[in-house]
Structure 1
Amino acid sequence: MKRNLLFLERVLLGDGTEPFHGVYALKINGVIDHAELVGALARLQEKYVMLRTAIGIDTLGRPYFHTPPTPPAIPLRIVERTGDEDWNRETVHELGTSFDITKGPLFRITWIRSAEVSDLIMAFHHCMCDGGSGVALLSDLLALLDDPQAEIGKAPAFQSIRDLVPAEILDNGRNRFKAKFSAALVNLGLSLGSLFISTKKKPAPRSADYLVNWKLGVEQSKALFSHCKQEGVTVNTAIGLALMEAFKAVNGAGAHGKATCPVDIRRYMPEVKRNMLFSYGLALNISLQQSIGAGFWEKAKLLQAHVSKQMAKLNPYEFTMIMEASHGSVHKLRRFLTYAKVGNDFMFSNMGKLDIPVQYRNVTVETIYSPTVIGPFANPNTIITTTFNGQMDFSFVSNQEFLPRDTAMQIREKAMEILFETVAIPHSMRL
């Protein structure tokens, strides 16, 4: 395999030295066999060509994925388990530890082991893989640990933009002109914006990154789902609003009242298959100005109306064509994202229910922690939630120098207080 990185893959890669990773962590009850785990990783590499790739730079300075003649095996690091919080420490370690992109692979596993309980930490470079792709990898890994001979098939991989955008759209003259014109406007905006950006202040050290994780009980989760359905508001919108209000309540004038919400591109672009490793999605922007009302759920309904309008306008093909016409702006965009003044409070993603079994023949998946992702950009605040075995799980990553951990904890408590103020569950079960 050999292909150039797409524009947004290049944005996520940067110069390859700064870590920009996604990490999944899960807790398993039962015995994991070392040889079977190594074999499972080899089977994953057989299925997914992207797990055998490294990144090179061509004569024009443009990065490309390629498969080395003898791809290295997926690294497996083993840590002896001492307690239930080891996974948090090792997750933060994986978020801040760079891959050797020139050799590959851009994927690795940490096994926190003990005789009867293990934690698995799965890390991948974001330029290769997103959270949705991570679910497919996790599902296959567990299937192979359950049965080393399990049939997991071969995963598709795309070779160019032509595999993603239908020819009738990609080759349409009007569409191509619009993409180039939009890309020129992006470049102009970034060029003008860079005049007001100072690079003197260095990004916060990655050693100051942290992870705050919490769960809702089964009854809490069920009550929230039911109440959102009753109000005609998605869980994503309700949580996003509660988080924005919590940032405002805790940070006061320092809050922006805005957030970015990634949208899984697979919902809009059927060419990106569920088991295809893909790195980026679409995005929505939400703000408190879109939700002015008397009570929380009234505001949530107004915000939902804005969100629905934005989602109806999402066009993955046009978006991809504009991005692919913008390669000349990649370094300007990286500079803007890294050094420009922060304009929103956080990124929030609700990935929904994880379609992964709890019980296998030899092991039980006690919990899957929501994935985490953090990069070198100006605003590291990222909150991701998933639902597994009936429980919503939240991961909140940031950097101590940008947002003190104590402040993040206050925001967490305030957001849950706001969210559950009118949801009918026993008071004793609230966070």
Structure 2
Amino acid sequence: MKRNLLFLERVLFGDGSEPFHGVYALKINGQLNHAQLRTALARLQEKYAMLRTAIGIGATGIPYFYTPLSRPEIPLRIVEREGDDDWNNETVHELGTSFDIQNGPLLRITWIRSTDVSDLIMAFHHCMCDGGSGVALLNDLLALLDDPQAEIGKAPAFQSISDLIPAEILHNRRNRFKAKFSAALVHAGLSLGSLFISTKNKPLPPQDGRRSIGRRSGDPRQGDARKGDYLINWKLGAEQSKALFAQCKQEGVTVNTAIGLALMEAFKAINGAGAHGKATCPVDIRRYMPEVKRDMLFSYGLALNISLGKSVGTHFWEKAQTLQAHVSKQMNKLNPYEFTMIMEASHRSVHMLRRFLTYAKVGNDFMFSNMGKLDIPVQYRNFTVGTVYSPTVIGPFANPNTIITTTFNGQMDFSFVSNQAFMPPTTAMQIREKAMEILFETVIMPDSVRL
């Protein structure tokens, strides 16, 4: 396999020197062994061609995926389990530890093991894989751990945008002109904006002496490319989650909109004038582009923007309803084919866009994604999945605040990642508590349920 990176894959890749990773973590109740885990990882590489790739740089400076002749195995690191928080420590470590880009692969596993309980940490480079792809990988991995002979098929892969965009759209003259014209406007805007960007605007990471949150004191490991990253995770009980879902349905508001509004109001309450009242919400491109199959490894999605300025009303649910109307209008206008064509016409702007995202003045408070119910079974023949923690992702861009929520086994799970140099962990904790207070202030719950 060999193909050039798409425009947005290049944005996520950069020059390969800085980590931009996604990480999944889950707890397994039951016994695992090294041989079956190794076999499962080998089967994953057989199914997914992208798990056999590395990244090279062409003569013109354009990076490309390719399959090395040596085809290295998926790295497996083993850590002895000391407690229930080990997964957090290892997730932070994986977020900041670079891949061997030139040799691959761009996925690795950490096995935090004990006799009857294990945590599995799956890290992948974001330029290869997104959260939705990660769910497909986890499903296959768990199926193979339960039954090494399980049939998992072969994953589709694409070679160019012609595999993603129907020919009648891709080769339409009007569409091609519009893409080139829009790309020219993007280039002009970035060229102008770059005149006002200084690399001094990005906060410097803490010095090595400032230990990352969640890292064991005295940890001898070195080489983390990011210092000061931290992860805060929390869950809602099954009854709390059920009550929230029911309230949102009754009010005609998606869970994504309700939580997004609560988080924006929490940022405003805690940060005051320092809050922007805005957030970015990724949208799974698979909802709009059927060419991207469920088990196709794909790295990017669409996006919509939410803001407190679009939430008008006297109480929370009234504001949520007005915000929902704004969100629905944006959703109806999303066009993955047009978006991808514009991006592919913008390759000359990739370095300017990276500079803008990394050093320009921050204009929103956070990125928020509600991935919904995870299609992962709880019960297998030989083990049970105790929990799946919401995935995390963090990169080198100016605003590291990322909040992702998922639902597994009836419980909503939240992951909030940031960096100490951008936001103190104590502030993030205050925002978390305030957001849940705002969200559940008017949710009708059984008397026995408490936050």
Q: What is the Cα deviation at residue 427 of structure 1?
A: 5.9
Q: CA 1:53/1:253 → structure 2, altered by over 3 Å: closer, same or farther?
A: same
Which amino acid in 2 is paired with 1:5? Answer: L
Measured in 2, the distance between the counterparts of 1:16 and 1:203 equals 21
> Is residue 44 from structure 1 mapped to residue 64 from structure 2 by the alignment?
no
Which amino acid in 2 is paired with 1:282? Answer: L
Residue 431 (structure 2) aligned to one of 376, 387, 411 = 411
TM-score, with length taken from structure 2: 0.95
Measured in 1, the distance between the counterparts of 2:203 and 2:395 equals 10
> Is residue 199 from structure 1 mapped to residue 209 from structure 2 by the alignment?
no
Give runs of aligned pairs for residues 14-413 of structure 1, distance below 5 A. Answer: 14-205=14-205, 206-413=226-433
Measured in 2, the distance between the counterparts of 1:69 and 1:2 equals 12
Q: What is the Cα deviation at residue 421 of structure 1?
A: 0.3
Which amino acid in 2 is paired with 1:371? Answer: P
Measured in 1, the distance between the counterparts of 2:63 and 2:448 equals 54
Q: What is the Cα deviation at residue 425 of structure 1?
A: 1.4
- Contact persistence 2:55–2:101 (CA under 8 A): yes
Which amino acid in 2 is paired with 1:32? Answer: L
Q: What is the Cα deviation at residue 146 of structure 1?
A: 0.3
2:221 aligned partner: none
Q: CA 1:77/1:203 → structure 2, altered by over 3 Å: closer, same or farther?
A: farther
Measured in 1, the distance between the counterparts of 2:396 and 2:192 equals 22
Which amino acid in 1 is paired with 2:346? Answer: S
Which amino acid in 1 is paired with 2:371? Answer: M
Q: What is the Cα deviation at residue 430 of structure 1?
A: 3.2
Question: Which 5+ residue runs of structure 2 have no aligned equivalent?
Answer: 206-225
Q: CA 1:223/1:421 → structure 2, altered by over 3 Å: closer, same or farther?
A: same
Please give the secondary structure, in 1, of the residue aligned with 2:119: strand
Measured in 1, the distance between the counterparts of 2:244 and 2:114 equals 36
User: CA RMSD of the aligned region, Å?
Assistant: 0.8
Question: Which 5+ residue runs of structure 1 have no aligned equivalent?
Answer: none
Q: What is the Cα deviation at residue 69 of structure 1?
A: 1.2
Which amino acid in 2 is paired with 1:373? Answer: V
- Contact persistence 2:202–2:398 (CA under 8 A): no
Which amino acid in 2 is paired with 1:378? Answer: A
1:197-222 deviation per Cα after TM superposition (whole angstroms, max 9, x unaligned):
00135554321000000000000000
TM-score, with length taken from structure 1: 0.99
Measured in 2, the distance between the counterparts of 1:129 and 1:186 equals 25
Which amino acid in 2 is paired with 1:341? Answer: K
- Contact persistence 1:203–1:338 (CA under 8 A): no
Measured in 1, the distance between the counterparts of 2:190 and 2:202 equals 20
Measured in 2, the distance between the counterparts of 1:118 and 1:401 equals 32
- Contact persistence 2:110–2:120 (CA under 8 A): yes
Measured in 1, the distance between the counterparts of 2:286 and 2:324 equals 21
- Contact persistence 2:362–2:399 (CA under 8 A): yes
Which amino acid in 1 is paired with 2:372? Answer: G
1:13 aligned partner: 13
- Contact persistence 1:204–1:399 (CA under 8 A): no
- Contact persistence 1:203–1:377 (CA under 8 A): no
Please give the secondary structure, in 2, of the residue aligned with 1:128: coil
Which amino acid in 2 is paired with 1:4? Answer: N
* Stretches of 4+ aligned residues off by more than 6 angstroms: none
- Contact persistence 1:220–1:425 (CA under 8 A): yes
Which amino acid in 2 is paired with 1:234? Answer: T
1:90-122 deviation per Cα after TM superposition (whole angstroms, max 9, x unaligned):
000000000011000000000000011000000
1:20-60 deviation per Cα after TM superposition (whole angstroms, max 9, x unaligned):
00000001110001100000000000000000000001110
Which amino acid in 2 is paired with 1:314? Answer: L
Q: What is the Cα deviation at residue 65 of structure 1?
A: 0.2
- Contact persistence 1:203–1:376 (CA under 8 A): no
Q: What is the Cα deviation at residue 292 of structure 1?
A: 1.7
Identity %: 85
Q: What is the Cα deviation at residue 326 of structure 1?
A: 0.2
- Contact persistence 2:203–2:421 (CA under 8 A): no
Which amino acid in 1 is paired with 2:58? Answer: D
